[in-house]
Structure 1
Amino acid sequence: MAADTRHVLVVDDDPTVSDVVRRYLEHAGLRVTLAADGVAGLQAFREGAPDLVVLDLMLPGVDGIEVCRVLRSTSDVPVVMLTALGEEADRVLGLRVGADDYVTKPFSPRELVLRVQSVLRRAGAAARSAPAEVLTDGGLVVDAGARVATLEGEPLALTVREFDLLTHLLRHPGRAFRRAELLEEVWGWNFGDQSTVTVHVRRLREKVEADPADPRRIRTVWGVGYRFEPVEATVA
């Protein structure tokens, strides 16, 4: 398979898992760097500037949650987190600190490759084809072309998925979306855990709402999903 310039950092302390993941990702044409713990993973990220990070939740020393927090403080690099089967609280926590997707252990290496390719494809397509439009809602400003969002003049630290979700909602003010619709239209998945959408909506509310517990913009439509209720929406 032709070499791919895209670079994936895999942070996992299990050498068997790391080796299998590396072989499957390389077979898919991706360039791979391995790190065996959180400290080494952060160092490899700083040195290698990967396009995506596959991050195990349970790492010795600095765990995956803390690594993800550190990454999110400086970068919007996509993160696919590996979590234990049945540990829903861990999956939700991973999404809350900024993971873009997760795969539960034990997992199919082919499924992981598909998830990695999906996240990379979505991030790449967004960067290449974002229309030159600016969406506003009161003090909330989203420049879709530059992929920059601000609230009252202050920049918002949004992950790739959060930015895409906010932009999608802003483009369709007043429309109620089912979680499955958002999963397909924003994530590009026709399968997957819809709690992913729920967690990302919660994270967005924490960043764009004055009171996340009583949201004015991103409203819950009971029995359906979510609707963006603009304070003042225009497209320039």
Structure 2
Amino acid sequence: MERNITYVFGQFQLKTDTRLLRYQGKNMGLQPKVYHLLLYFLENPGRLISREELFKEVWQGRIVEDTALRLAVNILRKALRDNSKSPLYILTACKCGYRFLPEVSVEVAMQKNTATFQTIGFNSQPKAEFEFIEIRQDYDLDWDCC
């Protein structure tokens, strides 16, 4: 079974099957690291995420400089039409990490491939069935810093 996940936040949608960010009906492609950064934020909304954790999870432990993370965050902010001075989406927290601010809804589409059997033979054309589940993740904003 294949899972297609759509994250919904503000006026944006991120679809994991196409890796496209959608805003006001328009699709935007993201660079691979920027996509993975956004995906990690969406999986951890409201939580203070350290730079070290982002390097481990997004860059998979590769040795990179802080400028790579800052650049990816700036590119993501630009795609989200966000601003570091009055953030709606990404808050820089005490020079130790970042917090993704908006509420995030998750829609999961499960696609099942099934085969239909007939008495005369086998029909190999699969039918697709979709099941949508909305998961709302409520969180408490903990503003304590490092």
TM-score, length-scaled by structure 2: 0.66
Match of 1:215 in 2: 87
Q: 2:39 aligns with which of 167, 172, 177?
A: 167
Q: Deviations over 1:109-162 (max 9, x none)?
A: xxxxxxxxxxxxxxxxxxxxx952110102110001221111222222310111
Unaligned runs of 5+ in 1: 1-129
Q: 1:142 aligns with which of 7, 10, 14?
A: 14
Q: 1:235 aligns with which of 97, 100, 106?
A: 106
Output the CA distance in 2 between the equivalents of 1:191 and 1:214. Answer: 31
SS at match of 1:235: strand
Output the CA distance in 1 between the equivalents of 2:73 and 2:24. Answer: 20
Q: Deviations over 1:75-112 (max 9, x none)?
A: xxxxxxxxxxxxxxxxxxxxxxxxxxxxxxxxxxxxxx
Output the CA distance in 1 between the equivalents of 2:84 and 2:45. Answer: 19
Q: Deviations over 1:21-52 (max 9, x none)?
A: xxxxxxxxxxxxxxxxxxxxxxxxxxxxxxxx
Query: Is the Cα contact below 8 Å between 2:82 and 2:89 reproduced in 1?
Result: no
Q: How many residues align?
A: 106
Alignment map for 1:1-236 (pairs within 5 Å): 131-211=3-83, 213-230=85-102, 232-236=103-107
**Off by >6 Å, runs of 4+ in structure 1:** none
Output the CA distance in 2 between the equivalents of 1:145 and 1:191. Answer: 28
Output the CA distance in 1 between the equivalents of 2:85 and 2:77. Answer: 8
Q: Percent identity?
A: 27
Structure in which a larger fraction of residues adopt helix = 1
State the structure with bigger RCO (CA 8 A, min sep 6), 1 or 2.
2
Supply the RMSD in Å over aligned alpha carbons: 1.9
Query: Is the Cα contact below 8 Å between 1:206 and 1:212 reproduced in 2?
Result: no
TM-score, length-scaled by structure 1: 0.42
Query: Is the Cα contact below 8 Å between 1:209 and 1:215 reproduced in 2?
Result: no
Output the CA distance in 2 between the equivalents of 1:164 and 1:220. Answer: 18
Unaligned runs of 5+ in 2: 108-146
Match of 2:129 in 1: none
Query: Is the Cα contact below 8 Å between 2:14 and 2:21 reproduced in 1?
Result: yes
Output the CA distance in 1 between the equivalents of 2:92 and 2:81. Answer: 13
Q: Note the C-alpha offset of 1:224.
A: 1.7
